[in-house]
């Protein structure tokens, strides 16, 4: 249930083989030039440089007008070149801020506070920063949509290899321009919500748009996230009914049919799809049991075999007394939980990220099938003997 990526509003660290995001440029005091460092999975944004040895010392009073600081505070640490100039900064002052390392170039004509850039270490945070910078340059009415909306809404999602900023506009043809995809699509007033001060399409519409745009498994991941948070299948179907003749409508229909309301996180969705692709099933998500000793939940069950995703957070979590468990304590507790389940003649398999996504997926399918077949050979698939212990009420998001 716990993992090292996250279904929380501010964290999504997906260990994918990722192509680079838009480059973030910062001044290098070693070369004396503005360098551009691509933000790959294994690298953070360029760290702020040191102040130049020559030139006037940079202080807020000398270089950063109060108006500029206010604009950046209201725009999540970002400012456009046009806004800076309108606030009575000069081109030379902007160049000095970039060269000193206090500002970084997020995209052409948009700058960010270097401390913000250096502290943005997650993939979601990086993409969100790039999206916000891109949207700052758009001068016509629009709403954020697709992955751009999902990141502002705090939805855990699987980012595609080719990432773009997505906006929806009702009166322009769909086209790509400077890393921004403009979608021609109508939307109702009720489809728009506010997130972090921005107008974005709501979670249900966003999930369906991602499914249409990217298909499986990105669509199932997005739909699972909104279903886990309480969006109903009927709501999603109603949105699809308004898109009968839209491009890639069929993709979204398939993703919705293959979705589940019980997958708590991105890797749990990918694990469930892996099991179904292996011919294991039916797969039941969030299987809970309770006796006089304890209550415990497993991420998924098929027959008498349980399946768990192990993420880093599972072994770095607080206990019920709010103290942080040591990794050793967490591991010991997890071992006791597994032994408790196995005491009821249940098998268990565990997966990590490289099992559910990437080259290791094929081997993980074979391993899951072998383990499931071995458990079935020993104890069958019927769990009627567990009826006194099975938790009937559905486990929901905290």
What are the chain's domains?
24-119 (no CATH), 138-257 (no CATH), 266-386 (3.40.960)
Which pLDDT score is estimated for 251?
97
Average pLDDT of the segment spanning 200-214: 97
Strand partners, 181: 166, 176
Predicted confidence band of residue 313 (pLDDT cuts 50, 70, 90): low
Over 60: is that where the pLDDT of 10 sits? no
- Assess contact for 288 and 391: CB atoms under 8 A: yes
Instruction: Please write the tens of the pLDDT for every residue from 238-285.
Output: 999 999 999 999 999 999 999 999 999 999 999 999 999 999 989 999
Which pLDDT score is estimated for 29?
37
Instruction: Please write the tens of the pLDDT for every residue from 148-171.
Output: 999 999 999 999 999 999 999 987
Higher pLDDT, 184 or 43: 184
In sequence order, which residues have a C-beta less than 8 Å from that of residue 4 and are 6 or more positions away?
A: 13, 311, 312, 313, 314, 316, 353
Over 90: is that where the pLDDT of 339 sits? yes
Which pLDDT score is estimated for 235?
97
Q: Under DSSP, is residue 152 helix (H, G, I), strand (E, B) or coil? A: helix
- Distance in angstroms (rounded) separating the CA atoms of residues 268 and 221: 9
Sheet holding 110-113, edge to edge: 33-37, 24-28, 103-107, 110-113, 78-80
Mean pLDDT across the chain, nearest whole number? 83
Question: Hey, how many other C-beta atoms are within 10 angstroms of the C-beta on 108?
Answer: 12
Which pLDDT score is estimated for 25?
53
Over 90: is that where the pLDDT of 93 sits? yes
Average pLDDT of the segment spanning 210-225: 97
Which pLDDT score is estimated for 166?
97
Predicted confidence band of residue 59 (pLDDT cuts 50, 70, 90): very low
- Distance in angstroms (rounded) separating the CA atoms of residues 179 and 166: 9
Which pLDDT score is estimated for 175?
84
- pTM for this model (two decimals): 0.81
What is the dihedral angle through the alpha carbons of 92, 98, 103, 109, rounded to the nearest 10 degrees? 70
Predicted confidence band of residue 30 (pLDDT cuts 50, 70, 90): very low
Which pLDDT score is estimated for 38?
38
Pick the range with the lowest mean pLDDT from 72-76, 174-178, 185-189, 385-389. Answer: 174-178
Instruction: Please write the tens of the pLDDT for every residue from 382-397.
Output: 999 999 999 998 776 5
- Distance in angstroms (rounded) separating the CA atoms of residues 210 and 45: 27
């Amino acid at each position: 249930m716990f993992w090292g990526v996250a279904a929380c509003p501010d964290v999504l660290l997906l260990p994918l083989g990722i192509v680079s995001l838009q480059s973030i440029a910062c001044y290098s005091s070693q070369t004396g030039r503005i360098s551009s460092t691509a933000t790959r999975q294994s690298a953070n944004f360029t760290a702020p440089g040191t102040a130049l040895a020559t030139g006037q010392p940079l202080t807020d009073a000398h270089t950063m007008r109060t108006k500029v600081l206010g604009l950046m505070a209201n725009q999540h640490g970002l400012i456009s070149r046009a806004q800076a100039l309108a606030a009575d900064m000069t081109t030379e002052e902007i160049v000095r801020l970039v060269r000193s390392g206090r500002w970084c170039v997020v995209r052409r004509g948009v700058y960010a506070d270097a401390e913000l850039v250096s502290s943005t270490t997650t993939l979601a945070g990086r993409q969100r920063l790039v999206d916000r910078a891109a949207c700052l340059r758009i001068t016509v009415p629009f709403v954020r949509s697709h992955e751009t909306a999902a990141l502002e809404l705090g939805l855990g999602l699987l980012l595609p290899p080719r990432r773009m900023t997505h906006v929806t506009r009702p009166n322009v043809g769909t086209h790509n321009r400077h890393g921004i995809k403009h979608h021609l699509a109508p939307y109702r007033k009720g489809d728009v919500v506010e997130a972090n001060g921005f107008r974005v399409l709501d979670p249900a519409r966003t999930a369906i748009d991602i499914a249409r745009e990217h298909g499986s498994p990105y669509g199932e991941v997005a739909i699972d996230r909104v279903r886990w948070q309480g969006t109903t299948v009927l709501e999603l179907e109603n949105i699809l009914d308004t898109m009968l003749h839209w491009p890639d409508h069929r993709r979204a229909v398939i993703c919705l049919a293959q979705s589940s309301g019980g997958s708590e996180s991105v890797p749990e969705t990918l694990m469930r799809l892996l099991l179904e692709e292996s011919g294991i099933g039916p797969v039941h998500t969030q299987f809970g049991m309770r006796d006089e000793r304890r209550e415990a939940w497993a991420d998924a069950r098929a027959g008498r075999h349980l399946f768990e995703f192990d993420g880093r957070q599972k072994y770095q979590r607080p206990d019920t007394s709010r103290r942080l468990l040591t990794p050793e304590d967490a591991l010991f507790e997890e071992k006791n939980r597994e032994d408790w389940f196995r005491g009821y003649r249940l098998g268990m398999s565990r997966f990590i990220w490289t099992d559910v996504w990437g080259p290791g997926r094929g081997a993980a399918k074979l391993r899951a099938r072998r383990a499931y077949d071995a458990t079935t050979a020993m104890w069958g698939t019927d769990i009627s003997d567990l009826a006194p212990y099975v938790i009937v009420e559905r486990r929901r998001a905290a």
